[in-house]
Amino acid sequence: MNGNIWVVAEQWKGQISEITYEVMALGRELADGLGARLEAVLLGHNARSLAAGLGKADLVLYADHESLAEPNIEALMSALVQLMRERKPRAVLVPLTNVSMGLSTLVAAELELPVVNFCKDAKVVDGAVQATCVLYGGKIEATVATAGDSAILAVWPGARQADQGRSGASPAVEEVALELPAGLCIKLKRYLEPEMGEVDITQQQVLVAVGRGIQSKDNLEMAEELAEALGGAVCGSRPVIDQGWLPLSRQVGKSGMQVKPRLYLALGISGAPEHLEGMRGSDLIVAVNTDPAAPIFNEAHYGVVADALDLMPALAEKVKAAKG
Amino acid sequence: MTIIVCIKQVPARESHLRPAGGWVEEADLSYEINEPDAFALEEGLRLKEQHGGETVVLSAGPARVVQTIREALAKGADRAIHLEHENPRAFSPLETARFMADAIAGEKPDLVLTGLQSDDLGYGHTGVILAELLGLPHATIVMQVEVRDGALRVKRELEGGWFQHVEMPLPALLTIQSGIGALRYATLMGIKKARTKEIRRVPLEAGPGDAGFQVERVSLPARSKATRLFDGSPQEAAAQLVEKLKFEARVL
């Protein structure tokens, strides 16, 4: 197998997404392990200056086209397929984000390449890339070997630290010309800003997070009482927001907020990858769940295998007593 | 409008999964509709009520899938197509999407809906590949759908609380995110009617099932931290936890 390692740099609203640097760190490791070059692929419009942040790569391939101004999957796919056909990279690492969802899938289908989704780690074993991916909402992991000359890895957030993928060095940039369809069928109209709630959960020191395990909206009261005793706020995982039990501004996870409180108390949350992404950086994580195999326990410092509905009042009482 | 909703049956959320025989032990699992697909069905039924037409569900899998199809019919879908094969792992997402495209093409759908990803494999591949095979524009992670003058305006979920408005002509394919609307329950009348609704069976010939990679090992996830578990009654566990919060985390 020949060819280089590519990282697709994700950019939207004029910025490189943070996850790009995480994926760059992983890409650098793979390139070094294979004795290959690391190349970043930057697709945009009037966005060449963004290449400056991609110094971890040996080369930035920059393609400029008005259809690439914002991440339109139709245009990105067409661009990436052309570049890969011409240059035949050995592995292409794509950030697994909502913004670029579908890109790795479509490129792989078009080029008939394997694609490893929810890739949380990858390494070089016997001169080939071996990847670990997450299945069943984080309950199962699979280690896979990619066959053939090339593969696409859709890398989930948190595979590496973003700081490992940054560099002060200014990379060499090669501008590449692309033929893209003139009119796009899918039109991105506008971005809608996050709705701010009455409480900014990203600023809280203590978060009491509730999930499906609290069973009904009525039980939120117990979480509120516990949060009050701890001097924090209540937030939730996706199912709680979907049910309308808490507003969107209180959602922790991929589509919600990224939080890093001193204490994150996860009550009745199973710990799907999309949720872990939003809270993994918390200083102290305590998980309470009836299922001892719940993935949330893999991220927690302390855990209690119990029904959150039993533990919440007991804990609120002890906290109040401890504070005197 | 003719609306096709693709649904998948997956292991129930409470399933205790364990690795076995190079994959996951499937013998004693119970199954249910994939959660985002339940929301796709909801949106499909809502759009039919608003614009008229027909909602057709499409599902691939072994005979057990019929249960999930019947539930969708009981909720109000008009008829169903069952792509049947005893081994659901015999197909890669690309192969599955090809069979689905073949089954759908004759229906001339105005709109195809899928969940954004499955709760089991979670690839999120089949829907977008299906769009490509049918030659339809698509949007993923959709949280709102408006049909106006033969075109679509949808609200896509991004990250960090951001959303995006996207427009495209019909016909189109959308992958739906959980929470797009409140899920309805099947009524007694609906359950009764479902018994006589058409389920067209299409037996599938197994493909190579090759996704281009070999699974070398399946395992439970490794703990990233040395998690300490507290035992005892809720009171006892709470007491131990408070000690840690007070003296280690110093949040009290």
What's the pLDDT score for residue B251?
84
How far is B88 from B206, CA to CA, in rounded Å? 9
Most B-contacting residue of A140, A185, A280 (CB-CB within 10 A), to test interface? A140
How far is B207 from A119, CA to CA, in rounded Å? 25
Whether residues B159 and B247 share a domain: the answer is: no
Contact check, Cβ <8 Å, A300/B217: no
Nearest to B178 among A110, A242, A254 (CB): A242
What's the pLDDT score for residue B211?
66
Tell me which residue range forms the domain holding B199: 2-203
pTM as predicted? 0.94
How far is A67 from A58, CA to CA, in rounded Å? 26
Whether residues B127 and B7 share a domain: the answer is: yes
Contact check, Cβ <8 Å, B238/A151: no
Contact check, Cβ <8 Å, B242/A138: no
Contact check, Cβ <8 Å, A105/B216: no
Whether residues B114 and B238 share a domain: the answer is: no
What's the pLDDT score for residue A2?
65
How far is A112 from B92, CA to CA, in rounded Å? 12
Q: What residues does CATH 3.40.50.620 cover in chain A?
A: 5-176
CATH code for the domain of B176: 3.40.50.620
DSSP H helical ranges for A168-230: 220-230
Contact check, Cβ <8 Å, B251/A205: yes
Nearest to A135 among B120, B225, B238 (CB): B120
Percentage with pLDDT > 90 across chain B: 76
Report the CATH architecture of A5-176: 3-Layer(aba) Sandwich (3.40)
Contact check, Cβ <8 Å, B178/A310: no
Nearest to A102 among B128, B168, B246 (CB): B128
How large is the average pLDDT for residues B38-62?
97
pLDDT class of B250 with cuts at 50, 70, 90: confident
A201-323 has CATH 3.40.1190.20 classification: no
Which of residues B96 and A182 earns the better pLDDT score?
Answer: B96
Contact check, Cβ <8 Å, B241/A109: no
Termini Cα distance of chain B = 59
Number of helices and strands in chain A (H, E): 8, 17
CA dihedral A211, B23, B113, A272 (to 10 degrees): 20
A273: closest chain B residue by CA = B122
Strand order in the sheet with A59-64: A172-176, A59-64, A38-44, A5-9, A91-95, A151-155, A115-125, A128-135, A140-146, B213-219
B167: closest chain A residue by CA = A187
Average model confidence (pLDDT) across chain A? 95
pLDDT class of B6 with cuts at 50, 70, 90: very high
pLDDT class of A104 with cuts at 50, 70, 90: very high
**B137-190 pLDDT tens trace:** 999 999 999 999 989 999 999 999 999 999 999 999 999 999 999 999 999 999
What's the pLDDT score for residue B118?
95
Q: What residues does CATH 3.40.50.1220 cover in chain A?
A: 201-323
Whether residues B242 and B159 share a domain: the answer is: no
Nearest to B125 among A105, A263, A317 (CB): A105
Whether residues B184 and B237 share a domain: the answer is: no
- Residue-level length of chain A: 324
pLDDT class of B248 with cuts at 50, 70, 90: confident
The neighbouring-strand residues paired with A179 are none
How far is B106 from A151, CA to CA, in rounded Å? 34
Whether residues B72 and B180 share a domain: the answer is: yes
Percentage with pLDDT > 90 across chain A: 92
Whether B212 is covered by a domain: the verdict is no
User: Smallest CA–CA separation between A100 and chain B, in Å?
Assistant: 9
pLDDT class of A1 with cuts at 50, 70, 90: very low
Contact check, Cβ <8 Å, A130/B252: no
**A167-221 pLDDT tens trace:** 999 999 999 999 998 788 999 999 999 988 889 999 999 999 999 999 999 999 9
**Residue burial A147-157, b: 16+ Cβ < 10 Å; e: rest:** eeebbbbbbbb
